[in-house]
Structure 1
Amino acid sequence: MNETILFVEDDEEIHSLVSSHLKKEGYRVISAFDGDEALVLFSRERIDLLLLDLMLPSRNGIDIVQEVRKAHSMPILIISAKDSDVDKALGLGFGADDYIGKPFSLLELTARVHAALRRSTQYTPPASLQDGNKITVLDLVIDPENFTVEKNGKLISLTAKEFQILSLLAARPNHVFTKGQLFESVWKESYYGDENVINVHIRRLRSKIESDPSAPVYIKTIWGIGYKLELSP
C-alpha cells in the first residue's frame, strides 16, 4: 500500500489510537499535533492524504485546508466533534473531500481513507478526453493529460474532484447530468440523495471559473435535475 497519511490531531489518545490502526492497515503515518507543525511537515514530505481535526492549536483545520489547497489536490478528510451541516459545508467548501464526525469507528474511518485514496489514484477521464486532446469551452482550456485548466491563458488551481466534475461536464457539453450521475461518476460510490457534497463542489468550482458565480456562464443549474456545461453564453 505504502501511501503516506499526514494525520493532524491534538488529542493524544485519539492520535495514538488512529495512527496505530492506520499503520496496521499498511499506511505510513506522519503525525502533527498543531497547525503550524502540519504545514511544516506538508512542505517537507510527500503526502498522499491529509487527515485532520478542525479544532487545532496555532491554526485551525480550515486554515490548513486552504493552505494545502494552494499547492496540492491530495484527498483531504476532516474529522471533528462539530458534526453539523454548517461545519460540513464549511469544511467541504474550502476544499476538503470528505467529513467524518466524532465519535467515529475505526472501521468507518478506514473505509473513508481507502475510498478517498482509491478515487484519487483511479480517476479516468471521460472517453472523449482520453486521447489527451485539450478541450476549449469559451475562454476555458481543459488539458486532461496534465490535469490543468486555464482561463484566458491564466492557470486555475482546481482540486482533483473539481477537475473531474468539470471534465465530465465538458466531455458532453449541453448534456444535463443529474446530481446522482455526477456523484457516482466522480466519487465512484452509490448516490443516496445527499446533495450537499455535489452542491458544495459545484459552488466552489464556479467560484474559480466564473467571473460572476451568482450568474454562471459555464455551469448552468437545471432546477430539480442537475447541471450542464454550455458551449455558448
Structure 2
Amino acid sequence: MNGWKVLIVDDDPNVREIIRLYFQQHQIELFEAGGGAEALRLLEKQPVDVVVLDVMMPGIDGYETCREINKLYDCVVIMLTAKGDEFDRVLGLELGADDYMTKPFSPRELVSRMKAIFRRMLPKKPPGEEEPRTSLEYDGVAIYLDRREVVVRGEKISFRPKEFDLLAFLARSPGLVFSRDQLLEQVWGYDFVGDIRTVDVHIKKVRQKLSDFGRDCIHTVWGIGYKFEVDA
C-alpha cells in the first residue's frame, strides 16, 4: 500500500476524517475534496491512483464528476452511494466507475477493495507455466498484459482497469464459458456484495470498444454466461 495516492471526494467532512485517520495508519497518501469541481481542479495538478467518489453532492454530483474523470484521467474510480437502488449502481458503472460501495461502509473494506483491484492489474502466472505470459494475440486482437494495453488491427484502445481485467481473464481461456458469478469471483477478486449486473455492464462496455474496431470477441452463451472467441 505504500506509494498509493488516493483522492476522497465527499461533501461530508466526517466521512473524509474517518478515511483520513485509517489511511494514516496504513501509510496511504490521501488528498481530499469536498465536491466535484474541487476534485477536478485538484486532479489537474495531482495525479492519483484511486478516486473514491461520493454520488450525492451539491453542485457537480458524483455521476458528472465520474464522467469527466473517465474522459481525462487514467485512475481507478470507486463510487460511494447511500442509495440501494440497482439503477444508481449500474449508472455509476456505465459512466466509468470500476467499483461501488454502499454507505455506511468501513475504511478497512475500502482498502480491501483497492487491494483487490490492484492485485488483478498484475500479470498472472497460469497453471503449468514457468513465467507469466506478457501478451495474448489472436486474429487482429493483441492484449499486452505487462503494459495493460489492447491493440486491435493496429489501433490502441483505451480500457478502464476493470474492463481490461475482464477482457484479459476471458482471453486467457478462449472458448471457455464463464458464469457471471465466476467472473465476479475471478475478476473482482473479493466476496462481492451486489448484483451480477455489474458483469453485464462491463461486458457491454468492452464489447462496444471492440466493435468500434470491427471485432466481436465476447459472446453470450444464453443461460450460462460469456466466453472469448475471435472468429477467423
Q: TM-score range by the shorter chain?
A: 0.7 to 0.9
Per the alignment, residue 112 of structure 1 pairs with 110
State the 1:175 CA deviation.
1.5
> Residues 22 and 110 of structure 1 are in contact (CA less than 8 Å); yes or no, is this contact kept in structure 2?
no
Change (3 A) 1:147 1:64: same
SS in 1 for 2:19: helix
Is residue 225 of structure 1 aligned with residue 207 of structure 2?
no
Look up the match of 1:154: 155
**Secondary structure class of the residue paired with 1:17:** helix
Relative to structure 1, is the Cα distance of residues 15 and 145 closer, same or farther in structure 2, using a 3 angstrom cutoff? closer
1:81-230 matches, within 5 Å, as 81-102=82-103, 104-106=104-106, 109-121=107-119, 123-125=122-124, 127=126, 130-137=132-139, 139-190=140-191, 194-211=195-212, 217-230=216-229
State which drifts further: 140-149 or 185-194: 185-194
How far does the alpha carbon of each residue in 1:34-93 deviate from its partner, in whole angstroms, 9 at most, with x for none?
212111222222312111111234422122222222354433211122331100000112
Mapped contact 1:76–1:97 kept (Cα < 8 A): yes
Describe the superposition over 1:98-124 as per-residue Cα deviations: whole angstroms up to 9, x where unpaired.
Answer: 22223x143xx4213322234314533
Count of equivalent residues: 227
The 1:68/1:192 distance shift into structure 2, 3 A limit, reads: closer
CA distance in 1, matches of 2:223, 2:11: 42
> Is the CA contact 1:174–1:228 (under 8 Å) kept in the aligned structure 2?
yes
Which ranges in structure 2 are unaligned for 5 or more consecutive residues? none
Deviation of 1:27 after TM superposition, in Å, equals 2.0
Contact 1:54 1:62 in 2 (8 A): yes
For normalisation by structure 1, the TM-score amounts to: 0.84
Aligned-residue Cα RMSD (Å) equals 2.7
Q: 1:140 to 1:72 in 2, by over 3 A?
A: farther
Please give the alpha-carbon distance, in whole angstroms, between the structure 2 residues aligned to 1:88 and 1:135.
34
Structure 1 counterpart SS, 2:56: coil
Normalised by the length of structure 2, the TM-score is 0.84
Letter in 2 for 1:110: R
* Corresponding residue number in structure 2 for 1:33: 34
Which consecutive unaligned segments of at least 5 residues does structure 1 have?
A: none
User: Is the deviation greater in 153-162 or in 54-63?
Assistant: 54-63
Instruction: Answer with 56-65 or 163-172: which moved more.
Output: 56-65
| CA offset digits 1:159-189 (Å, max 9, x no partner) | 1111111112112212112222222221222
1:188-220 deviation line (CA, Å, top 9, x unaligned): 22467831221111112112112499xx82111
